[in-house]
Amino acid sequence: MDTARESSGASLSIAGLLEFEEIKAAEPAVLAGEAGLDRAIRWVHIADSEHVERFLEGGELVLTTATAFRHRPEAMSEFLDQLERAGAAGTIIELVDENSTHDEEAREIAAAAASARELPVIVLPRRVKFVRITELAHRSLLAQQISRLEHAREIHETYTQLSLDRAEAQTIVDRTAELLGTAVVLEDVSHRVLAHSGRGSQALAQKWVDLVSGASTTPGGHAPSQWRQTPVGLRSRRWGRLVVPGAAESVADLEQVIERAGEALTLTRMADRDEQDLLLQAQSGLIREITDSEGIDERSARERARSLGFTPAEGAELTPVVVRIDREADTDPTRVQLQERGLTQEIASAASRLNLCLLMTSLQSGAFGFVLGPGRGRNRRSQPSPRGTAEADDRLNRLLAELEGLVASWVVGVGRGSTTLLRAVAGLEAASHVAEVAATLDVRERAFYRSSDVRIRGLLSLLAEDSRLRAFAEGELGPLLGESTGDDRRGDGVLPSAADAADDGLLDFLELYLSHGGNKSAMARAGHLSRPALYARITRLQDRLGVSLDDAESRTALHVALLWWRMYG
């Protein structure tokens, strides 16, 4: 008996089983399927009838004396057919008569039935105890299973400890490459190599873009579609994948190893994010204290902020920024919350990479703010200046550029910068108003907006809740709004109905007129109107409003009223 093979735990194949001394002594002969002798044996089954299919699940080696059907060619063929349909690994047929003499006639029948089959068919011309074969095979299979269980336990303990130790991604990748004995690469969703380890991984990382695109293949000739891999990150937000580009099919327990490695990487990142969440809560508390309390001075605020990781270069301009995530009225609040959480974490990570520092706070669902400054080591400035503002804009532009490719869309408002933390935090309110107004713009052409960019919309935003502004807007637009305002500017005692106002589209036509500054050629092109129709529509609009659109003050009043109505009416 081959005890070395038994204790190794290696996968047992048909060829391996034939190497046992007890079986070799029976002089096994392969009638068919020699190419399949390396098939792994899942279990051993003994059969005495050709009707064996219902007892099999696949992967079994079937032992039989074929006593009941060895002299019937149809039955022998049916026996082999059933083995193939059931996915058996192969069969060993002992063809010995009652006198322990080789049954030549049965051998010829078996050879004819096995002809041209891929199923391994082995005959034994000498008697052998099947119980001994099953004992040897099952002992080897059990040893293999025990070995796999022990290896699985080692894998489990390895990655559990790595998770408990909050190991860095590189450490996890190093251990994975060690367990697999091959190169391993961790990439992000943009195919940037985050970590790599194992023999040849440095060369793989250097030409990774070409490998991923298919421009070249791995040394073993494996294309990207053949790489073994596992996604990394929660299903709702994958942030990378762990890839084994080599000849991975020969590595034992590959799937289990890379799956556990992916889980460890995911847990490590989640733990980092939980820590970021706690830091965000602490920073939010400080900003609320600065905003609501008059008892905190600049020095105290700076010291508190420094303890929370906000350490800007001395004298640098600090920029108040508010990010508002776009959302529709029916947008799922949970989705907005997840987008906000992901975006705050991406901004924090990007700031760290760019040597910028943040003091961040959550404002409301779908909106958060932060004070942005350069990290230490940047140029120091004692007072704000046009150049300081330009540098602040450059910092913000570089930060926002790091967020390209994220699924969510948002708008960014910026308040007035300051070299003092207290004033910068106070600027978050203005930045929030700017972001709110910028969110109403039909076309956004800027990465971020200041109050000077939103102009009159910004003023209307600040006065949005003023009842006098509503009264002004309804007074100006009343004839176009119908019954909802009760306006009778024409003085004839007859109000245009809401349906009439909608049908004739005069409110939209007024918007067309004002947006083109009364330029009739531009209006005709944009509105697809003939000149006669355009002039008729202008006349009807003036009659309905009771004012002349040639009057500059009237146009200004109507424009302000219409802007407010579109934003808040």
Q: Which CATH number covers residue 260?
A: 3.30.450.40
Based on the domain organization, do 261 and 298 belong to the same domain?
no
Based on the domain organization, do 127 and 196 belong to the same domain?
no
What's the alpha-carbon Rg for the chain, to the nearest Å?
39
Given 92, 113, 143, the domain boundary residue is 143
| Phi, psi angles (nearest 5°) of residue 184 | -135, 140
Contact 322, 431 (CB under 8 A): yes
Contact 120, 34 (CB under 8 A): yes
Based on the domain organization, do 217 and 346 belong to the same domain?
no
Scan for tokens 């293949």, then name that residue. 217
Scan for tokens 């099952």, then name that residue. 138
Q: Which CATH number covers residue 396?
A: 3.30.70
Measured CA to CA, the distance from residue 337 to residue 325 in angstroms comes to: 10
Based on the domain organization, do 492 and 561 belong to the same domain?
yes
Domain span at residue 74 reads 3-143
| Phi, psi angles (nearest 5°) of residue 384 | -65, 150
Q: What is the layout of strands, in order, in the sheet containing 29-32?
A: 29-32, 121-124, 90-94, 60-64, 43-47
Q: Which CATH number covers residue 30?
A: 3.40.1390.20
Contact 425, 320 (CB under 8 A): yes
Does 154 map to a domain? no
Does 284 map to a domain? no
Based on the domain organization, do 320 and 422 belong to the same domain?
yes
Based on the domain organization, do 493 and 549 belong to the same domain?
yes
Does 37 map to a domain? yes
Does 155 map to a domain? no
Based on the domain organization, do 402 and 299 belong to the same domain?
yes
Measured CA to CA, the distance from residue 218 to residue 225 in angstroms comes to: 12
Q: Which CATH number covers residue 525?
A: 1.10.10.2840
Tens digit of each residue's pLDDT, the chain (569 residues)? 343 333 334 578 888 888 888 888 888 999 999 998 988 888 888 888 889 888 888 889 999 999 889 999 999 999 999 999 999 999 999 998 888 888 899 999 999 999 989 999 999 998 888 888 888 888 877 777 777 777 778 888 888 888 777 788 889 999 999 888 888 998 887 777 888 898 888 888 878 877 887 655 655 556 677 788 888 877 666 778 898 886 545 455 788 888 888 888 888 777 666 667 767 888 888 899 898 877 788 988 898 888 888 989 888 999 999 999 887 766 677 677 778 888 888 898 889 889 999 999 988 888 999 999 998 764 444 444 445 678 888 999 999 988 887 767 889 999 889 999 999 999 998 898 888 888 877 667 788 888 777 666 656 665 666 677 778 877 878 788 764 444 444 444 444 443 444 445 888 888 888 888 888 888 888 888 888 888 888 888 888 888 888 888 878 888 778 777 776 66
Taking alpha carbons only, the member of 188, 305, 297, 180 closest to residue 237 is: 188
Based on the domain organization, do 137 and 18 belong to the same domain?
yes
Based on the domain organization, do 476 and 445 belong to the same domain?
no
Based on the domain organization, do 332 and 432 belong to the same domain?
yes
Domain count, the chain: 4
Does 552 map to a domain? yes
Bridge partners of 123? 29, 93
Does 287 map to a domain? no
Measured between alpha carbons, how far is residue 239 from residues 124, 137, 163, 233, 234 in Å? 58, 45, 18, 6, 8
Measured CA to CA, the distance from residue 6 to residue 53 in angstroms comes to: 29
Does 390 map to a domain? yes
- pTM for this entry: 0.44
